Structure 1
Amino acid sequence: MGAYINGFYVFSPVSDNDRAGILYVATILSLIFSVITLIVRYHIQRRTFGLDFWIIVAATVVALGQYAAIFAGLDNYALGKAVSLMSESDQLNAGRSAIASICLFLISNALTKCSVIFFMKRLFSTDNRTARLLCNGLLGAVGVWVLASILGLNIACGPSTKFALSDRCSGQITRWSVVATFDSLFELAIFFLSIILVVPLQMTREIKLSVVFAFSFRLVVAIFAIIHVYYVSQWSSSSDPGIATVYSLLWQQVELGYALMAATIPTLRSFIRAYEKAMGWESSYYIKNTNTRTANSTYQLSTMQTSRHEEEGAVFGLRRLSTSDKSPLRPDRPNYKAQIYGPGLHDVAEHLPRRTKSNGSGGSEEPIIRKDVEIQVSSEAAH
């Protein structure tokens, strides 16, 4: 496959009849960025893996299958070369690789949208029934769209028609235009849904803009979808579909890689940190380990019930921030003394309660709070 050009070894030389090297570069870069993004997402949510994380994992796994289909076509079936350099079997197998990559691309792209929607659902819909309904409705629409897209692009368009010079699959421009239109509409819907859910919240305008700005990165996916359709149209009218396919598949890699990255951007600290503080939460991955105890003060606490936000995992496992202050929050022995002076109060003193320190702490090995209250009542005659 490789060749020496001017004394340098070139893995996949690019020429007028061979553009496989361009597709190699685009696919490898998209693969690298996708894997790095998943590692970053794991680092962000390593304490509490919500459903949005597992969906982006599934999207990345499907994307790996898409990359594998491209590499298989490039390595074994002359994908990326002119039709004149492809045998009949190569044309058929390269067509299968291209169609497999398209189907996996649609599935992975849809899963990235679902991951963002599930993240929004956890972020906004804890006490908002309308937000849950909107997110669930959008999830259902994405599911219908991806199934309809796979069927619509492959009905009466088999692998044998992918690189045919005549009798090429008809209607591909219309089919891809419909697919890309809904692809773009879903990205717009996600963006406007973030605005609808953030605006009613009682927080500063700067915080709201920061959250909405995080979701606005998804709008670039719509731009890549439109560019992708343009190169599909070039393939449909090209005299050499083998070369024209390279550029449609190239923009497919660009859109997929960016869609995977844009699904993680809203979870970054710089965008939601202020939102969490405004809501009274702290992300679990910002909580430091505060199990270190000093030699002079040890507090053993009984098991307590978790808060509602902890049970629901409102923002990928948000929890109340525990303190690491070394000074005791509750003194070991507070003393409260009250002395009352006045005429005729001898009888009152007999009926006033006298508090002493508690003998237990309801489950702890040591008393957590000890409280001594001493009340003295006396009467002095006025002079």
Structure 2
Amino acid sequence: MEYPAPYAVSATDRSGLIVIVEMLFMCWMIMVSLIRLYMRLAINGPVQVDDLVVFAGGVFAIAHVGTTMNAISHGLGRSQDESSLSDLKRAGEGVYAANLLFLAGHGAAKISICLLLKRLGRQRNYLLCSKILVGMVVTWTIASIFAVALSCFPQYLQSMAQHCSNIGPAWKSITAFDVITDVLTFALSIFLVWGIQMRWKEKATVIFAFGTRLPVIILVILRQTYLDRSLFHSDPSLHLSDALITTAVLLHYSIMVSTVPCLKPFVIAFNTGWGQGVTNSVGEHPYFTPTGKSASTTQSRAYKDDADLAPRRLSQESQNSQQLIIHQTREWTVEEEYEMHSVDNRL
């Protein structure tokens, strides 16, 4: 006797696809978070506030997967004809909780990046901008959670058009400010390296590390497009599946890319000689060391292997400088040995 699979992918049942995406991206997110935890504990610790915030976001993301799976077990992702009214009510409760956990996890990832950028800067104007951005993202996260929580209650999943007329404008406002804050975060990363004396290639590397969040904007807009199509559909349980899949990708990707700017120490730890990197071992970010602080304990000369580039030496002056530099050096110690020989002077 054959038994039907608990999750399937068909025209009237997309629960299997939701489960696959949720579990796959959650596993990737957990692995990336463990890598970040390892780096902070073994390579470039201690654990900072931005790390704790993004780890909290990972916990929210795991809880999001749990609530979504619970909703799927009660008919989410399937046609209403295949689910009873009691199951749809429980599915609505799962979707309600999953939306709140999504906003909490996604907001934590955004706050973590903003706190990291704030920790890297020293200039007065930069610090002011970073504090304003942190305040904006925290306010957006809290306001979004309250807006969704009060706009539509769990029992109205199957009748949103009659009871949840405010949920559509609420999600549109949340999406708009989500995009704005991500754009401002990327602009702040450019501001961070704009005035630093370094090669453009190195500046581009740092900007790219923070620019990996830009695809989040595409996912946010795509998710809102699917929500607009499905929120007030006659069969929202089935047609919300596209929005749920995009939400899962957005949430876990947002948390994963928050770790990208911290990955360099992990690469250096397994370096076999193909490149040299410098990190600060006292609570600073791996990409950055303050001017006036040598990366080694000995006062040795730093030379570049490229003959076309003039040699550059780290300045030992301006110990209180507030400017940051990003550099890559190779160090060589030159020792000379002399031998004394007696020479007979003959005419």
Count of residues in Structure 1 that have an aligned counterpart in Structure 2: 282
**Structure 2 equivalent of residue 289 of structure 1:** none
The Cα of 1:60 is off from its aligned counterpart by 0.4
Match of 2:95 among 90, 95, 98: 98
Conserved? CA contact 1:18–1:81, under 8 Å:
yes
Counterparts of 1:122-133 in structure 2, within 5 Å, are: 122-123=119-120, 125=121, 127-133=122-128
Conserved? CA contact 1:211–1:272, under 8 Å:
no
Match of 1:189 among 178, 184, 195: 184
Pick closer, same or farther for the CA change 1:3–1:321 going to 2, 3 Å: farther
**Structure 2 equivalent of residue 54 of structure 1:** 52
- Indicate the SS of the match to 2:162: coil
Q: Moved runs in structure 1, 4+ residues, more than 4 A? A: 270-273, 316-324
The Cα of 1:188 is off from its aligned counterpart by 0.6
Cα separation, 2, equivalents of 1:52 and 1:255? 20
In angstroms, what is the RMSD of aligned CA positions?
A: 2.5
Cα separation, 2, equivalents of 1:165 and 1:129? 48
The Cα of 1:165 is off from its aligned counterpart by 7.2
Match of 1:154 among 143, 149, 158: 149
Kindly indicate whether structure 1 or structure 2 has the higher relative contact order, using CA contacts under 8 Å at least 6 residues apart: 2
Cα separation, 1, equivalents of 2:230 and 2:143? 22
* Unaligned 5+ runs, structure 2: 269-276, 299-347
Cα deviations by residue, 1:113-165 (Å, 9 ceiling, x for unpaired): 11111111222x2x322222222211111111112112222324111222227
Pick closer, same or farther for the CA change 1:157–1:320 going to 2, 3 Å: same
Q: Percent identity?
A: 28
- Indicate the SS of the match to 1:155: helix
**Structure 1 equivalent of residue 212 of structure 2:** 217
Conserved? CA contact 1:281–1:320, under 8 Å:
no
Counterparts of 1:1-383 in structure 2, within 5 Å, are: 3=3, 10-47=5-42, 48=45, 49-75=47-73, 77-123=74-120, 125=121, 127-164=122-159, 167-269=162-264, 282-284=279-281, 310=282, 313-315=283-285, 321=295
Paired residue type of 1:314? E
Cα separation, 1, equivalents of 2:252 and 2:8? 24
The Cα of 1:3 is off from its aligned counterpart by 4.1
Pick closer, same or farther for the CA change 1:314–1:270 going to 2, 3 Å: closer
Cα deviations by residue, 1:221-274 (Å, 9 ceiling, x for unpaired): 11100000011111124221111111111110010011011101111218998x
Larger radius of gyration: 1
Cα separation, 2, equivalents of 1:213 and 1:115? 17
Paired residue type of 1:100? A
Conserved? CA contact 2:67–2:94, under 8 Å:
yes
